[in-house]
């Protein structure tokens, strides 16, 4: 039963047609003009509209045009007394379903109405089939493109020609695929013998140039498609996707991009277009299998494709059962979706495997009805999707391979959708961050319980989405949920999600904490080596002048002792001269000169000054020697080392750090044997701990004038170990952070005062390189003792 709207300005005609159609089993409504009919159409859907041509105000043809444009699922029929060529031609141009001339008989009216309704049902089925097919193709294409993008990102391969060209159309780089696509040797173009514009067909050349001109006014990116004539004379379609690169003056420097051979795609597009046009023109041109069956499952009509597929002439098919022809069965299929009640009462869409034809089909079925509204049968469209099913299996196989590949990648891999939600979190990410994928998938990245430099990461993500280019983030600090800190090196890659041009992000990277620690150790070693080289240079430059200053000062000391003996004799001679007449004036002159130069003061102070000078020279030589012995430049192997001497040198070098805040007590074991170690690195351990001790004491003193703490350094030999204890009277280490003291880059100092590397490096040197032990004892408010134990024998 169909809903039919009758529009005619003559009430008698409306009543006559309504009564006739009601007898045919249809439900009818009527309107006296187009305006009333428009209201009814807005309120209720109709399967068919029957309209007169001549009506007051809006004509029937204009109204029919409105119906066809606004309600494409509604069939239209003209019922008019007019039968002029002009009216007939416009009705044909509008695409009406039938034209009944008044006066009419009920038989012709019924035939026209049934024909219009059946054609409408066929067109709706055809459109739905096309829509479903296009959606399916679009969905499969989107999935394949997404998988292809993943492969391109991970494997860095491109199924295309990569090129770099000059503005005169010559090229300076072509990838290996060039010859396979174009049929020309690369050398012909790279040598300048041939230019790319010579291959483009003349009729496409102006559009190709225009695309570049347009790109120059925007961001330089362009996308163009044109035809070329390859080396064998064949015409091939090329998609040219590239970017213009400008020099610092804004002039074109070169062009780079990729060339895709889209010949097959263009041919397929053209074939699809032709097939669509042919489908609209003729039923038989449809490549799908179309069959029209009645309610008893007998075939009433098939297209040419159906006949070819089953291998029978159409005249041998018509009238036989569908299950007999399509399935090769003597009775109705057990799994038939129509059930016992005949054809379906609604649209059906399903995928089936037809063993008789050996193929997969996507079958859409739409019912059609008798004039009395009872089901007459159905129209089925079967499309062979065997190749598509194979493509789905290939896609699933490719997806499995991709998942295996991703699982094998030893890098952190985090995928984000366009809303920033996590869609991928591989095993390496689980290990690095200590978070299982099940706990983070589907959540926004910012909600993950990882502390990191969010401003740097968010800025890189924003730039990645806006520029649609990979972004690099180096040395990104982060802290795991368990409190363990570290560094990351990340690359953010844009991923086109294919929906409304939204961009996702694929984050790839690695934990570079160990590398940073090694770099810090190397920097410390280089710094120590530089100090050693500087100390050697200072010793070379200072030792000689210090030596002759010392030698000359000792000479002056000894010479002054001789002069003192001589002065004593002069005093005795002066006493004798006082008793001789005539020498009184000379004696007085000598005494006045002695008083003028303060001879008594000079004879008392000159020996003291000389002694102090010798003491200063000795101290200078001692400091230079301590710096030289502290650094051991170039020493990379373990050697027997005097630990007491090493600590003494370290205290001398670090004196400026502790002399104003602490007194140092050195309690060294004089019987301590030599310890096998790398002197420069062990000295660095001592220096870090002593400097930390001085800083802790300074913090504990809190600016108290004239107050000092104490740093006590002890050495002892215990069994097969050398034990060094460095104790301070500082603030102590809070209980809550003691477990993190040796973590790389952990520090409690303010920014600029500490890097958090000192104790981590010390731990690595003592424990990993020397197979020793490094620990501490601490009491808040009273101080800390670091305990270093080194084996007396090399392990």
Based on the fold, state whether residues 595 and 671 are members of the same structural domain: no
Claim to verify: residue 523 and residue 506 sit in the same structural domain: no
Most confident of 478-482, 541-545, 682-686, 713-717: 713-717
pLDDT of 535 strictly over 70: no
Q: What is the pLDDT of residues 17-52, one digit of tens each?
A: 888 888 888 999 999 999 999 999 998 899 899 988
Q: What is the pLDDT of residues 145-204, one digit of tens each?
A: 887 676 456 435 667 888 899 988 999 988 878 888 889 998 999 998 999 999 999 999
Q: Would the pLDDT of 536 be above 70?
A: no
- Both 615 and 658 in a single domain? no
570 domain-assigned: yes
Do 587 and 691 lie in a common domain?
A: no
Burial class (CB in 10 A: 0-12, 13-18, 19+), 688: buried
Pairing of strands 48-51, 75-80: parallel
Same domain, 695 and 729: yes
Confidence of residue 554 (pLDDT cuts 50, 70, 90): confident
What integer pLDDT is reported at residue 337 of this predicted model? 65
More reliable by pLDDT, 490 or 81: 490
* pLDDT tens figures, 501-515: 678 888 888 888 777
CA–CA–CA angle 451, 732, 700 (5° rounding)? 105
DSSP label of 48: E
**Tokens encoding 208:** 């190709």
Domain count across the chain:
5
More confident of the two residues 528 and 360: 360
CA 404 to chain centre: 19
Residue 274 belongs to a domain? no
Q: Is 292 within the bounds of a domain?
A: no
What pLDDT is attached to residue 666? 92
Same domain for 654 and 779, yes or no, is yes
Q: Is residue 322 part of a domain?
A: no
Tell me, what's the pLDDT at 60?
87
Contact 450, 481 (CB under 8 A): yes
Q: What is the pLDDT of residue 541?
A: 64
Q: How confident is the model at residue 679 (pLDDT cuts 50, 70, 90)?
A: confident
Inside any domain, residue 414: yes
Q: What is the DSSP letter of 766?
A: I
- How many other C-beta atoms are found inside a 10 Å radius of the C-beta of residue 163? 21
Residues 562 and 609 grouped into a single domain: yes
Place 621 in a pLDDT band, splitting at 50, 70 and 90.
Answer: low
Do 522 and 497 share a domain, yes or no?
no
Rounded to an integer, the average pLDDT of 550-574 is: 78
Taking 50 as the threshold, does the pLDDT of residue 752 lie above it?
A: no
Separation of alpha carbons 121 and 347, rounded Å = 11
Choose the final residue of a domain: 217, 235, 268: 268
Does residue 368 sit within a domain? no
Token duo for residue 342 = 């005949």
Both 486 and 419 in one domain: the answer is yes
Residues 766, 658 within the same domain: yes
Asked if the model's pLDDT at residue 67 lies above 60, the reply is: yes
* CATH number for position 15: 3.40.50.2300
Would you place residue 500 in the very low, low, confident or very high pLDDT band (cuts 50, 70, 90)? low
649 and 569 within one domain: no
Average pLDDT over residues 63-89: 85
49 lies in some domain: yes
Residue 524 confidence (pLDDT): 59
- CATH number for the domain that contains residue 497: 3.30.450.20
Q: What is the pLDDT of residue 789?
A: 94
The model's pLDDT over 414-470, given as tens digits with 9 standing for 90+, comes to 889 888 899 988 888 888 888 998 898 999 988 898 888 888 988 998 899 888 899
Mean per-residue pLDDT over the chain, rounded: 83
Q: Which residues pair with residue 354 across a beta bridge? A: 359
Residue 745 reports pLDDT greater than 60: no
Tell me whether residue 231 is in a domain. yes
Which CATH number does the domain housing residue 644 bear?
3.30.565.10
Among candidate residues 246, 268, 290, the one where a domain is terminated: 268
Which of 583, 609, 631 delimits the end of a domain?
631
- Pairing of the two strands 375-384 and 289-294: antiparallel
| Residues 9 and 38 both lie in one domain | yes
Q: Which domain holds residue 432?
A: 409-511
Query: Could you give the percent of the chain with pLDDT greater than 90?
Result: 19
Report the distance separating Cα 187 and Cα 358, nearest Å.
Answer: 50
The answer on pLDDT for 338 being more than 70 is: no
Indicate whether 718 pLDDT > 70.
yes
pLDDT of residue 533: 57
143 and 400 Cβ atoms separated by less than 8 Å:
no
- pLDDT bucket at 603, cuts 50 / 70 / 90: confident
pLDDT above 60 for 343: no
- What DSSP character marks residue 327? I
Question: CA-to-CA distance for 686 and 654, rounded, in angstroms?
Answer: 10
Confidence of residue 751 (pLDDT cuts 50, 70, 90): very low
Share of the chain above pLDDT 70, in %: 86
């Amino acid at each position: 039963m169909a809903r039919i709207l009758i529009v005619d300005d003559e009430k008698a005609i409306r009543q006559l047609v309504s009564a006739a159609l009601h007898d045919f089993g249809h439900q009818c409504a009527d309107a006296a003009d187009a305006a009333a009919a428009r209201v009814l159409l807005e309120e209720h859907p109709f399967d068919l509209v029957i309209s007169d041509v001549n009506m007051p105000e809006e004509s029937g043809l204009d109204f029919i045009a409105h119906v066809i444009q606004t309600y494409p699922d509604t069939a239209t029929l003209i019922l008019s007394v007019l039968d002029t060529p002009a009216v007939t031609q416009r009705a044909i141009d509008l695409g009406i379903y039938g034209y009944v001339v008044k006066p009419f008989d009920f038989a012709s009216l019924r035939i026209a109405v049934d024909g219009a309704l059946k054609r409408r049902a066929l067109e709706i089925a055809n459109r739905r089939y096309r829509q479903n097919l296009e959606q399916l193709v679009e969905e499969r294409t989107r999935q394949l493109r997404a998988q292809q993008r993943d492969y391109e990102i991970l494997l860095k391969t491109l199924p295309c020609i990569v090129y770099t060209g000059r503005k005169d159309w010559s090229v300076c780089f072509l990838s290996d695929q060039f010859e396979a696509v174009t049929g020309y040797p690369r050398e012909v173009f790279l040598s300048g013998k041939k230019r790319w514009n010579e291959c483009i067909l003349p009729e496409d050349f102006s559009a190709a140039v225009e695309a570049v001109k347009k790109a120059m006014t925007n961001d330089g990116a362009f996308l163009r498609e044109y035809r070329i004539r390859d080396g064998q004379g064949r015409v091939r379609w090329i998609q040219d996707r590239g970017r213009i690169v400008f020099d610092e003056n804004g002039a074109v420097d070169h062009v780079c991009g990729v060339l895709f051979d889209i010949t097959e795609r263009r041919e397929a597009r053209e074939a699809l277009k032709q097939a669509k046009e042919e489908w609209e023109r003729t039923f038989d041109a449809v490549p799908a299998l179309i069959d029209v069956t009645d309610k008893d499952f007998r075939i009433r009509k098939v297209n040419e494709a159906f006949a070819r597929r089953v291998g029978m002439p159409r005249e041998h098919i018509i009238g036989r059962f569908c299950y007999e022809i399509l399935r090769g069965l003597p009775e109705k299929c057990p799994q038939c979706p129509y059930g016992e009640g005949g054809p379906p009462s609604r649209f059906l869409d399903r995928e089936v495997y037809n063993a008789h034809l050996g193929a997969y089909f996507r079958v859409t079925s739409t019912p059609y009805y008798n004039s009395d509204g009872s089901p007459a049968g159905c129209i089925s469209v079967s499309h062979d999707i065997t190749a598509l099913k194979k493509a789905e299996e290939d896609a699933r196989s490719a997806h499995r391979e991709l998942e295996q590949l991703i699982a094998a990648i030893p890098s952190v891999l985090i995928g984000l959708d366009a809303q920033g939600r996590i869609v991928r979190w591989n095993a390496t990410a689980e290990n690095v961050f200590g978070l299982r994928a099940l706990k983070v998938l589907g959540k926004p990245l910012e909600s993950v319980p990882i502390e990191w430099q969010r401003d740097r990461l968010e800025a890189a993500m924003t730039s990645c989405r806006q520029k649609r280019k990979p972004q690099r983030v180096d040395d990104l600090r982060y802290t795991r949920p368990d409190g363990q800190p570290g560094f990351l090196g990340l690359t953010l890659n844009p991923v086109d999600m294919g929906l409304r041009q939204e961009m996702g992000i694929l984050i790839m990277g690695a934990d570079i904490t160990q590398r940073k620690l090694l770099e810090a150790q190397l920097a410390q070693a280089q710094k120590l080596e530089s100090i050693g080289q500087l100390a050697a240079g200072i010793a070379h430059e200072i030792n000689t002048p210090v030596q002759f200053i010392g030698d000359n000062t000792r000479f002056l000391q000894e010479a002054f002792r001789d002069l003192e003996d001589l002065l004593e004799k002069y005093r005795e001679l002066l006493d004798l001269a006082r008793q001789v007449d005539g020498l009184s004036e000379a004696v007085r002159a000598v005494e006045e000169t002695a008083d003028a130069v303060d001879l008594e003061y000079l004879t008392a102070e000159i020996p003291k000054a000389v002694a102090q000078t010798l003491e200063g020279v000795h101290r200078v030589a001692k400091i230079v020697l301590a710096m030289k012995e502290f650094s051991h430049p170039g020493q990379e192997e373990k050697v027997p080392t005097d630990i007491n001497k090493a600590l003494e040198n370290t205290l001398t070098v670090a004196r400026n750090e502790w002399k104003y805040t602490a007194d140092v007590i050195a309690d060294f074991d004089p019987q301590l044997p030599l310890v096998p170690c790398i002197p420069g690195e062990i000295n660095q351990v001592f220096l870090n701990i002593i400097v930390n001790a001085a800083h802790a004491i300074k913090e504990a003193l809190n600016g108290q004038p004239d107050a000092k703490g104490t740093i006590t350094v002890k050495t002892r030999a215990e069994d097969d170990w050398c034990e060094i204890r460095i104790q301070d009277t500082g603030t102590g280490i809070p209980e809550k952070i003691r477990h993190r003291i040796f973590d790389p880059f952990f520090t409690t100092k303010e920014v600029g005062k500490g890097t958090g590397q000192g104790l981590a490096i010390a731990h690595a040197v003592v424990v990993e390189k020397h197979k020793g032990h490094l620990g501490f004892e601490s009491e808040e408010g009273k101080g800390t003792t670091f305990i270093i134990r080194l084996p007396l024998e090399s392990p």
